[in-house]
Amino acid sequence: MNPLRLSVLNPGGNDREQAFADFAGVPDDRVHAPVNYHAYAACTGGAFFKNASAIPTDQRHVLMLIRRDVKHCLETLRALKAAGKIVAVSLKESGAHQVAELLSDARRIEQFGEICALADAALGSTSDLMPVYRGAGAMRVEFIPTPYPVDDARWDFSAPVAGRRGIFIGTREFDVPSRNHLAALLAARELGGEITVFNADGRAGAKKLSALRIPQIAIVEGRLPYSEYLRIVARHRIVFQLDRSAVPGQVAGDALLCRVPCVGGDGAIERIAFADLCGHGRDAQQLVEIAARLLRDESEYARALENSARIASETLSFRAGAKKLAEFFSALG
């Protein structure tokens, strides 16, 4: 059997088409990093598309992302099926708050159900979406977390442990209640030491950060290229968050590429790679206590690094992701 070369399609999306012949490839900030939904294509040596017509005729296996324009996605799926493609679907924005917003419109709910019933399967980037896809009529549903190239030395952004300092706040969105972004900053203040946070909201964000009156805060303004961002994360002792959005988990994925423990968050990657540190089933005080131990206890810190590295290699690496995707699509025909 030929190896799977998965085509990931974001119908009418903004990201340009991109081939991943070298899988994760060398970090290059001129193109999209092989993370999130791009990683499903990258781990198989496949490609990412925004136009269905660009998918080669010999590439039968497609993962189509469902965007806000659900009607266009339904029309695209019909065309893919008519062309003989085997199509799995997945919500592009799959946090709990994002799914709720997408399904707040009656017509979109109806179209979403048509998509799930017509597709060969639904692929969930979080386990929380499994019953949603089933309830909408999907014939088969599989949870496959977004993989990260932790098995590719080119994507090892780790810094020497001895030089790591302070806490990196993993979330950025001030105005999404379930992110608990400002609450995480206040909770981290209790831990002492320097706290680093990104402000992508300009003057409005700066005002909110100033109102917190945290003297030891380091603010990085705007957005940075992905590799530069990872190098900043890697300088820190831990990543900390209080996110309750049930997202796929890029905060934890970034931490894996930097080999930094991630405390808090209930995303898919957090629950898998940092099961003993994540926010799933834990309150904020418990997470602060976990973070305090990692900041002061070297043996605890080393154990957290070892556990997350082992789990990531076994279940979240590109090798593991490619195997799961090949088995999933092979079962579809």
pLDDT tens for each residue of 198-219:
999 999 999 999 999 998 999 9
Residue 28 in tokens:
């290059």
Q: Whole-number mean pLDDT of the chain?
A: 97
Identify the CATH assignment for 7-147+317-332 out of 3.40.1350, 3.40.50, 3.30.160, 2.40.230.
3.40.50
Cα separation of the two ends of the chain: 12
For residue 2, what pLDDT is reported? 56
Q: How far is CA 262 from CA 72, 105, 266, 294, 331, in A?
A: 38, 35, 11, 10, 34
- Contact assessment for residue 93 and residue 56, using Cβ atoms and an 8 Å cutoff: no
122 pLDDT band (50/70/90 cuts)? very high
Distance (Å, whole) CA 18 – CA 216? 41
- Contact assessment for residue 315 and residue 143, using Cβ atoms and an 8 Å cutoff: no
Q: HSE, CB side, 13 Å, CA atoms: give it for residue 320.
A: 16
**DSSP 3-state of 159:** coil
Over pLDDT 90: what percentage of the chain? Answer: 98
Distance (Å, whole) CA 171 – CA 95? 13
Is a pLDDT exceeding 60 seen at residue 1? no
Q: What does the domain layout of the chain look like in residue ranges?
A: 7-147+317-332, 153-314
Which residues face 123 on adjacent strands? 142
For residue 282, what pLDDT is reported? 98
CATH assignment, 153-314: 3.40.50.2000
State pLDDT tens for residues 134-174: 999 999 999 999 999 999 999 999 999 999 999 999 999 99
Residue 140 in tokens:
């088969």
The average pLDDT across 269-280 equals: 98
Helix axes 70-82, 106-118, angle to 10 degrees: 20
